[in-house]
Structure 1
Amino acid sequence: MNKPENVAEIVIVTAAYGYKAVKELGGQSALLATIAAAGADGVEIRRELFAEGELSKLASLAEEIRQHGLFAFYSVPESLFLAGGIVNPDLSDFLTEADALGARKLKIALGNFVPGADLTALKVLLKQHHVEMAVENDQTAQGGILSPMNAFFFAAEALHLPVAMTFDMANWLWVGQDALVAAKALSEHVHYIHVKAANERDGKLHAVALDDSDGSWQAVLAALPATAPRGIEFPLEGEDLTAVTRYYVDLLRKEAAQA
């Protein structure tokens, strides 16, 4: 399926293939050909999936991504705010890595935001880098519920911080929140969407492919910005990974075209 004009871009999160599969296939760079062949527009590179020594080769990975006709987002498994509301001291390193990767966005969890905190130093730091920081709701009581997320973006807007939101559609379930309510409340801040669904199995929530879900993801996605890139983070599994990936790229592109 060809991409219609002015339709949201589709990003493949490398973790969607599973940590074991990524390792067995030869790392994240080995997935680029599959992602490109499936018709995706971009790739979300995960810091936690790098093998030893790969962090020093971000410029080379950036070139590989460009050669495959893709753009990059960069995800770090860390929080923006640590205990007590302190800005993560490693944030400067993460931003530098994102710049080296040529990433458009740096995805990071909110963490322990404290309303009223002075964010001036954070603003100065962000202005020193090209990448946009996209703060995500995670599966914790601190950074995964609506009220602190709302408070952070209210503060960020007042200070004109160059930040946006990564809206993870399924993470709300892990913290007992209504994803559709959150989508309607936070939509104006959302510049990136993690498309994901989850089912309960043996008393625990598990991420599942869209076709294996109850379909509630459609209403949530429809409440979010039609132009925000859609990142496929749900499991992509099967004998032919290119075909499986292409199926969901086409499904989301069709949905985006109808939004």
Structure 2
Amino acid sequence: MSTEIIVVTGAYGRQRVAAAGGQQALLPVIEQSGASGVEIRRELFSAPELSQLPALSAAIKQHGLTAYYSVPEPLFTTAGTINPNLPVFFAEAGTLNARLLKFSAGYPAGNLPAEQLAEQLAASPVPVTVENDQTDGGTLAAMREFFSRFGRVQAIAGMTFDTGNWYWTGESPHQACRELSACVSYIHLKAVRKDKHGFRAVPPDPDDEHWQTLLTALPANVPRGIEFPLTGDDLVAVTRQYVDLFRRA
């Protein structure tokens, strides 16, 4: 069975997504690239688009793609309580018929019992995954603590391992691979470059062994997401280049 490659709509850039008419307009590009699925980003929706999720779900199915849903919200608030908006996001993910629903961990959960989180997540029609983001909530220590405390919660399908975000938290992605590989259920692939403005995501060089080494240290049978800028006049060709590259790797 070939590796599933997922294209994150945000890889095309907020302006290009908006100019195209929204995330649904990019589905033909993703289908023609040979990708397995699409990661829909909640932050790229306009208010009217949020009310048209059934149409988007039907279009994703029509194009033969699997849906992943990314919500730019933490599971835990600054007070260490469970995000009160989770039911809204569960309903949206269910409407999209998503395979995974992705959050960040957010803030420390204090003394919150795992049973309480399990009770809340049981309402989700979609398995939940937690990503190492670029904040203090995405550090290696925070991820280690999260999966130590909550990794056995049935609704949590594991970790979205972003290969590049470790640079924003000042940590080694190789060390993170060694410690967290067993938790990983989805991989976000990106290379990172530092310039005078700080770190930024860039396309991986096909000949660069760094990202290939990371992949060999992570589970080989989990989906791989393209989450770096995809630019050019021929978006199908550009996207297909990386779909093929990551499927072979």
What range describes the TM-score normalised by the shorter chain of this pair? over 0.9
With the length of structure 2 as denominator, give the TM-score of the two structures: 0.95
**Which 5+ residue runs of structure 2 have no aligned equivalent?**
none
Quote the offset at 1:91 in angstroms: 1.1
Partners of 1:197 and 1:213 within 8 A in 2: no
Tell me which amino acid in the other structure corresponds to 1:45.
Answer: I
> 2:147 aligned with 1:153, yes or no?
yes
Confirm whether residue 164 of structure 1 aligns to residue 153 of structure 2: no
Find 2:225's aligned residue among 223, 231, 241: 231
State the number of aligned residues: 249
When the two structures are superposed, what TM-score results if normalisation uses the length of structure 1? 0.92
**Do 1:12 and 1:231's aligned partners in 2 also have CA atoms closer than 8 Å?**
yes
Residue identity matched to 2:214: V
User: How big is the shift at 1:122?
Assistant: 2.1
Letter of the 2:165 counterpart: N
CA offset digits 1:58-96 (Å, max 9, x no partner): 111111000000010000111111113111111111111
Check the 8 A contact 2:192/2:199 in 1, yes or no.
Answer: yes
The answer to whether the aligner puts 1:61 opposite 2:56 as a matched pair is yes
* Alpha-carbon spacing, 1:26–1:110, altered in 2? closer, same or farther (3 Å): same
Give the AA of the match of 1:15. G
* Partners of 1:198 and 1:213 within 8 A in 2: no
Using a 3 Å threshold, how does the CA distance of structure 1 residues 26 and 252 change in structure 2: closer, same or farther? same
Q: Match of 2:246, as an amino acid?
A: L
The whole-number CA distance in structure 1 between the counterparts of 2:41 and 2:207 is: 25
CA distance in 2, matches of 1:249, 1:55: 28
- Asked if residue 19 in structure 1 is aligned to residue 14 in structure 2, the reply is yes
Distance of 2:105 and 2:122 partners within structure 1: 19
Cα distance in 1 between the residues matched to 2:44 and 2:153: 34
Residues 197-243 of structure 1: CA distance to partner in whole angstroms, max 9, x if unpaired? 11001151110011289542221121111011000001100110000
* Pair 187,115 (structure 1): closer, same or farther in 2 beyond 3 Å: farther
Which secondary structure state, in structure 2, belongs to the residue aligned with residue 79 of structure 1? strand
Which range is displaced more, 55-64 or 109-118? Answer: 109-118
Partner letter of residue 179 of structure 1? P
* Alignment-derived partner of residue 93 in structure 1: 88
Alignment of 1:5-44 (within 5 A): 5=1, 7-44=2-39
Letter in 2 for 1:42: G
Aligned partners of 1:151, 1:53: CA distance in 2, in Å?
A: 38
Which piece of structure 1 moves more, 228-237 or 202-211?
Answer: 202-211
**Which one of 47, 61, 66 corresponds to residue 52 of structure 1?**
47
Q: Helix, strand or coil for the counterpart of 1:113?
A: coil
Q: Secondary structure at the match of 2:134?
A: coil
Distance 1:129 1:160, change over 3 A: closer
> Is 1:81 aligned with 2:72?
no
Unaligned segments of structure 1, at least 5 residues: none
Residue identity in the other structure for 1:196: K
1:174 aligns with 2:165: no
Answering whether residue 212 of structure 2 is matched by residue 208 of structure 1, we say no
Q: Which residue of structure 2 aligns with residue 107 of structure 1?
A: 102
SS of equivalent residue, structure 2 residue 52: helix
Which of 43, 66, 69 is equivalent to 1:71?
Answer: 66
Letter in 2 for 1:98: A
* Deviation, structure 1 residue 114: 2.8
Query: Displacement of 1:128 after TM fit?
Result: 2.2
| Percent identity for Structure 1 against Structure 2 | 48
CA contact (8 A) 2:127 2:155 kept: no
**Aligned partner (choices 90, 113, 117) of residue 112 of structure 2:** 117
What is the aligned-residue RMSD (CA, Å)? Answer: 1.6
